[in-house]
Chains A and B, each alone.
Chain A
Amino acid sequence: MSVTTDTGQATGPVLAADGTPLKRSLSRALRRQKMRALMLIAPLLIFVLVSFIIPIGSMLFRSVENDIVADTLPLTVVELRNWDAESGELPDEALYAAFATDMVAAIEAKKHTRLGTRLNYEQTGMSSLFRKSGRKLKKLDPAADAPFKEKIIDIDKKWGDVETWRTIKTHSVRLTNGYFLNAVDMRRTPEGAQSQPEDKQILIKLFQRTLIMSVIITVSCIILGYPVAWILANLPMRTANILMILVLLPFWTSLLVRTSAWKVMLQQQGVVNEVLVWLGMVADDSRLVLINNQTGTIIAMTHILLPFMILPMYSVMQTIKPYYVRAAKSMGATDWTAFWRVYFPQSIPGIGAGSILVFILAIGYYITPEIVGGTKGVFISNRIAYHISSSLNWGLAAALGTILLAVVLILYWAYDKIVGIDNVKLG
């Protein structure tokens, strides 16, 4: 290893005994350790990279990726660039010729229906237009059958509609913000971003509902979990461990079973309503609607997420020594003052950790709202699932997922700014 030039200078870096700079000596000495540490985590690192980071990355990329139009209709897209969408006139013969060439090739490769599906997200009817026209367009010969404009408009008069071409032109870019605009109830038009028609605006509302209900669930968990954690932390170890089993018991039961149990409990002929009617607190003909709405989602999710609140609270409270409260009382504080001024502030890190856990879990929850939420109690994640598995609009699903991720990160950042993330303790 070569010696650096400044080793001989008095003002240079500190040198090790053999004359090499101390920093380099040190890093050489630590290299073996670092390599060994890296080797130890390598299997997990590779696993996480392959099975998590890369899929998530590619999923997130789908929210802006829009190669399908440009790949399926390469010549048409070039021609569309020359066409002025604002003119209100149909494109010229050159474009129709390019379109015929592209479509014949696409039909050959059976790609035209996928393009139709893609464009159908933006304008209804596009899917059937491509599917129906496909059969007839296939018979055209791009070399011999010119001119095409008339023939193509004959096949379906929608090809003679300026709107159709405007839609194709608008969505021909390779990277689009269209999915994100859709995700916030807007759409990409030739005139720029515009809001969706009133009856299609549901996603912003769904985001708001998801956030508000997650907050309600988190607060319910704090209110219900705090006293439990307090009792557990103040009981003798043996008793606390036994009671802790009750807290952890739900983890040993399938999530689906627990959620379904709430259906039994909460429905109008269910246990809760029967008991209330039997007690005479609710009239038989006005049974409470506790399920298939927001109430049902809040009740079931609070129950399911409660352990995630109790556990961090418990482990933080365990570290709060009883002599603090005693000291406060010896100084003249009442039970309440001693709790509020001395015990509670020290338990905040536990509340913070529990709240972050519960809130982040709640905001992305899917299965419970799906089962007990009906239409009014579903979350944004249910919409994402719908677009992934039913409408197959993966781009929109990816955009919604990206926004959800961003919201969580922003809230996390805000929490760090306001409360301080070093103030979160899991024990």
Chain B
Amino acid sequence: MPDGSSSDAFVAFERVQKSYDGENLVVKDLNLSMPKGEFLTMLGPSGSGKTTCLMMLAGFETATHGEILLDGRPINNIPPHKRGIGMVFQNYALFPHMTVAENLSFPLEVRKMGKSDREAKVKRALDMVQMGAFGGRRPAQLSGGQQQRIALARALVFEPELVLMDEPLGALDKQLREHMQFEITRLAHDLGITTVYVTHDQTEALTMSDRVAVFDDGRIQQLDPPDTLYEGPKNSFVAQFIGENNTLEGVVTEMSGDKCVVKLDDGELIDAKPVNVSAVGDRTRVSIRPERVEFNKERLQDGAHTLKAEVLEFIYMGDIFRTRLRVAGNDEFIVKTRNAPDQVRLQPGQQIEIGWLPQDCRALDA
């Protein structure tokens, strides 16, 4: 977890706690600092405290303890309308009684901007999201994707330096969502806006963000760039939550530097990289990504431990093959292989041996 050094940070949470009922903490000791221009995603299951953090930053919830800083200034006592933070809501929150242009004009009107300036800015913002022709429509006359664009344009039209997005793509279908992910990241980088993005969709988090904060149980479990997060999860929760993951449980029997041997519960031995275990005798959960599992013996290192596996199911998914195995008593062990001309298609009932590079197999907390 990053420390509280936030002198040059644009957004900073310092030892922030939040409780709604005075008995349970929804956010427990949150420390986070973001440089200007960063696209940071708060990812986590529902109830993990991510939306509460966003609402505290926006000013709709107050922190029970701790300080939130924006550009070096504490903002705990600044009402939301004076924070100058743009926000995109989950349900877009477009005002149904106003046209699209009036919706966009609203933040400018409350800033007492002149009519001609307003019109120019509204037009520019609409063009930015390719909705220039829709200014006269009502939100109800637009499709979900179009409403999404308008909501985005409205959050950006008054040129805030910080934009918050609360699961903005949750209501869209898959194809549109992927397209909008790309569009939002492009806009955020082009305009140099600092963005805090909340989602429970890990693909969205990985593809869009500069850094991802994985929330669980009111704490940030890991805060890292997407590739580090995926390839180097620091604990079982993150490994389980980000991407697909195979888990085997056992006890550490040998430890030497960046290598250890784990004795699985059914007695088999495997090689692993110690990440979140401290000593021999610790219980551990080892985590292996499905695409890093190898059953071609020629590609395995000499002397590597291998495991016996039985093929239970073969699923053809187009670009990849997904094979379900029984490994060390675990029926849900998944192997993913690329659909290449020379790729082997495993048959159910087949007995094979599997292995992996020790650095791909991470021994985490139990």
Q: Which of A321, A331, A345, A346 makes the CB contact (< 8 A) with B110?
A: A331
Question: What's the nearest-Cβ distance from chain A to residue B132, in Å?
Answer: 21
Residues 298-324 of chain A, each 1 if its beta carbon lies under 8 Å from chain B, else 0: 000000000000000000000001011
Interface-facing stretch out of A135-143, A203-211, A332-340: A332-340
Query: Is the beta-carbon distance between B96 and A326 smaller than 8 angstroms?
Result: no
Known interface pairs A332-B81, A346-B96, A346-B97. Does A327 touch B110 (Cβ–Cβ under 8 Å)? no
Residues of A close to B110: CB separation below 8 A: 331-334, 337
Q: Are A333 and B93 in contact (CB under 8 A)?
A: no
Complex formed: what's the CA distance from A338 to B81 in Å?
10
Residues of B within 8 A of A345 (CB): 97
Q: Which of A321, A324, A334, A346 contacts B81 (CB 8 A)?
A: A334
B93 & A327 in contact (Cβ 8 Å cutoff): yes
A367 interface contact, C-beta 8 A? no
For window 85-139 of B, CB contacts with A under 8 Å fall at 85-87, 89-91, 93, 95-97, 106-107, 110-111
Q: What's the nearest-Cβ distance from chain A to residue B139, in Å?
A: 11
A66 to B124, CA, bound (A): 74
Residues of B with C-beta under 8 A to A333 = 81, 106-107, 110
Given A330-B86, A332-B107, A332-B111; A324-B95 close (CB under 8 Å): yes
Q: A346-B96, A346-B97 are in contact. Are A330 and B91 (CB under 8 A)?
A: no
- Distance in angstroms from A31 CB to nearest chain B CB is 36
Task: Assess whether B87 is in contact with A327, with CB atoms less than 8 Å apart.
Answer: yes
Closest B residue to A326 by CB, please name it. B60
Tell whether B80 is near chain A: CB-to-CB under 8 Å. yes
In angstroms, how far is the closest chain A Cβ from the Cβ of B100?
14
Given A323-B91, A341-B106: A330 touches B58 (CB 8 Å cut-off)? yes
Interface residues of B in 60-97 (CB under 8 A from A): 60, 79-87, 89-91, 93, 95-97
Closest chain A residue to B60, Cβ basis: A326
Given contacts A326-B80, A341-B106, contact A332 B158 (CB under 8 A): yes
Q: Main SS of the interface on chain A?
A: helix
Q: Which residue of A lies closest to B84 (CB)?
A: A332
Contacts of B84 in A (CB 8 A): 332
The CA-CA distance from A327 to B84 in the complex, in Å, is: 12
Bound Cα distance A345, B103 (Å): 14
Residue A342 CB within 8 A of the other chain: yes
Query: Which residues 8-46 of B have a CB within 8 angstroms of A?
Result: none
How far is the CB of A327 from the nearest CB of chain B, in Å? 4
> Is A329 positioned at the interface, with any CB of B under 8 Å from its CB?
yes
A328 contacts partner chain B, Cβ-Cβ < 8 Å = yes
Contacts of B82 in A (CB 8 A): 332
Q: Which residue of A lies closest to B157 (CB)?
A: A331
**Does B154 belong to the interface (CB within 8 Å)?**
yes
Q: Give A335 to B93 CA distance when docked, in angstroms.
A: 17
**What is the CA–CA distance of A303 and B95 in the complex, to the nearest angstrom?**
34
Inter-chain CA distance A338–B93, complex, in Å, is 13
Total B residues in contact with A, Cβ cutoff 8 Å = 27
Please name all residues of chain B whose beta carbon is closer than 8 Å to the beta carbon of A321 when the two chains form the complex: 91, 93
Tell me the complex Cα distance, A378–B79, Å. 52
CB B273 to nearest CB in A, in angstroms, measures 45
- Establish whether residues B89 and A329, one from each chain, have CB atoms under 8 Å apart when the complex forms: no
Contact A330:B80 (CB < 8 A) given known A321-B91, A323-B91: yes
What distance in Å separates the Cβ of A119 from its nearest Cβ neighbour in chain B? Answer: 60
Whether A327 pairs with B89 at a CB distance below 8 angstroms is yes
State A332–B155 Cα separation when bound (angstroms). 11
Chain A residues with CB below 8 A from B79, complex form: 329
In the docked arrangement, what's the CA distance between A329 and B95, Å?
13
The residue in chain A whose Cβ has the minimal distance to the Cβ of B94 is: A327
Find chain A residues with CB under 8 A from B91 CB.
321, 323
Asked whether A331 and B89 contact (CB < 8 A) given A341-B106, A346-B96, A346-B97, the answer is no
Contact A326 B93 (CB under 8 A): yes
Residues in chain A near residue B58, CB distance under 8 A = 326, 330
In the bound complex, residues from chain B placing their C-beta under 8 Å from that of A346 are: 95-97
Q: Which residues of A contact B60 (CB under 8 A)?
A: 326, 329
* CA gap between A152 and B343 in the complex, in Å: 128
Which chain A residues lie closer than 8 Å to B93 at the CB level?
321, 323-324, 326-327
**Chain B residue at smallest Cβ distance from A330:** B87
The smallest C-beta distance from A341 to any residue of chain B, in angstroms, reads: 7
Q: List the B side residues contacting A326 at CB < 8 Å.
A: 58, 60, 80, 87, 89, 93
Q: B81–A330 contact, CB under 8 A?
A: yes
Residues of chain A lying within 8 A (CB to CB) of residue B89: 323, 326-327
| Bound: A331/B156 CA distance, A | 10
Query: Is A330 touching B85 in the complex (CB atoms < 8 A)?
Result: yes
Q: Mark A66-95, 1 if CB is under 8 A from B, else 0.
A: 000000000000000000000000000000
- Contact of A328 (CB < 8 Å), options: B86, B97, B106, B111: B106
Please, could you name 16 A-B residue pairs with CB atoms under 8 Å apart, sorted by A?
A321-B93, A323-B89, A323-B93, A327-B93, A329-B80, A330-B59, A330-B80, A330-B83, A331-B106, A331-B158, A332-B82, A333-B106, A335-B81, A338-B81, A345-B97, A346-B95
Q: Which 10 A-B pairs have the closest CB atoms?
A: A331-B107, A327-B93, A330-B87, A323-B93, A329-B80, A345-B97, A333-B110, A329-B81, A332-B110, A323-B89
Interface of B toward A, CB cutoff 8 Å: 58-60, 79-87, 89-91, 93, 95-97, 106-107, 110-111, 154-155, 158, 164
Q: Assuming A326-B87, A328-B95, A332-B84, what are 19 further A-B pairs, CB within 8 angstroms?
A: A321-B93, A324-B93, A326-B60, A326-B80, A327-B95, A329-B60, A329-B81, A330-B58, A330-B86, A331-B87, A331-B110, A331-B155, A332-B81, A332-B82, A332-B107, A332-B111, A332-B158, A335-B81, A346-B96
